[in-house]
Amino acid sequence: MSEQEVLIRIQATPNPAAWKFVLDRPVLNEGKATYSTIQEAEHNPMARSLFQIDGVKQVHYFQNVITVTHQFDYESEKIQEQVCAVIQRGMPIHNPNQTVMDEKKMSREHLSPDMQKIEEILDRTIRPGLQGDGGDIEVLKFEENKVYVVYQGACGTCPSSTSGTLMAIEGILREEFNPEVEVVPL
């Protein structure tokens, strides 16, 4: 199948400068990967090629989806055509088993009980919606009743991530974890 043309469906996200490219095969068999610079993508040839498209700001892989975020003043159709061309060229040699080479990624077994509970709540309530829109959220730390997060993929530059989504996350964590918790985006 890897030698055949890749079937790609392009879907809009709530972020007008981010597009989901849904493929007929896996991009990543496990986990997710977000690249914000061509340097971060140095070990991933297809992501590196996507950054060579003028205007691309971020590339996010999740399951069979590649979300590409571009600068607001770039023509979406032109970027979409170029992304599809890169995917067609890159998928035959792409390795969906390659794990993210990211030092920040750590096993949840080593997290504090509070962090494990926060991750479990987000996995169940928030992440499915964000991932459905081509994005995600990473919890960086929890200290002094503050949960520090960073948005990924389409959520990274989406205007609603700093207002509505943030309030929803905070509301759910206050209800299910701690009524005094505050969510701080970085």
pLDDT, one tens digit per residue, over 75-99 is 999 999 999 999 999 999 898 887 6
- Distance between CA atoms of 22 and 84, rounded to whole angstroms? 10
Return the CATH number at 180. Answer: 3.30.300.130
Residue 101 pLDDT class (50, 70, 90 cuts): very low
* Residues 134 and 153 sit within 8 Å (Cβ to Cβ): yes
pLDDT at res. 128:
82
Return the CATH number at 86. Answer: 3.30.1370.70
Residue 149 placed within a domain: yes
- Distance between CA atoms of 59 and 37, rounded to whole angstroms? 9
pLDDT, one tens digit per residue, over 51-73 is 999 999 999 999 999 999 999 89
Q: To which residue do tokens 């962090």 refer? A: 115
Residue 13 placed within a domain: yes
* Residues 147 and 139 sit within 8 Å (Cβ to Cβ): yes
Of 32-41, 54-63, 149-158, 170-179, where does mean pLDDT reach its minimum? 149-158
Secondary structure class of 110 (helix, strand, coil)? helix
Q: Is 145 in the same domain as 115?
A: yes
Total residues belonging to the chain: 186
Q: Is 43 in the same domain as 87?
A: yes
Q: Which of 93, 118, 143 is the last residue of a domain?
A: 93
- Distance between CA atoms of 162 and 5, rounded to whole angstroms? 38
Residue 3 placed within a domain: no
Of 69-78, 112-121, 131-140, 174-183, where does mean pLDDT reach its minimum? 131-140
Burial 5-14 (b: 16+ CB within 10 A, else e): ebebeeeebb
pLDDT at res. 98:
75
pLDDT, one tens digit per residue, over 5-16 is 999 999 999 889
Q: To which residue do tokens 């490219």 refer? A: 21
Q: Is 123 in the same domain as 80?
A: no
Q: Which domain holds residue 55?
A: 8-93
* Residues 164 and 151 sit within 8 Å (Cβ to Cβ): no
- Choose between 56 and 110: higher pLDDT: 56
pTM of the model: 0.64
Residue 98 placed within a domain: no
- Choose between 181 and 95: higher pLDDT: 181
Q: In this structure, what token pair is assigned to residue 110?
A: 């080593």
* Overall domain count for the chain: 2
Q: Is 127 in the same domain as 85?
A: no
pLDDT at res. 86:
97
Residue 180 pLDDT class (50, 70, 90 cuts): very high
Residue 147 placed within a domain: yes
75's CB contacts (< 8 A; 6+ apart) are: none
| Backbone torsions φ then ψ of 117, nearest 5 degrees | -65, -45
Q: In this structure, what token pair is assigned to residue 86?
A: 């890169």
Secondary structure class of 113 (helix, strand, coil)? helix
For residue 103, pLDDT over 60 is answered with no
Q: Is 89 in the same domain as 143?
A: no
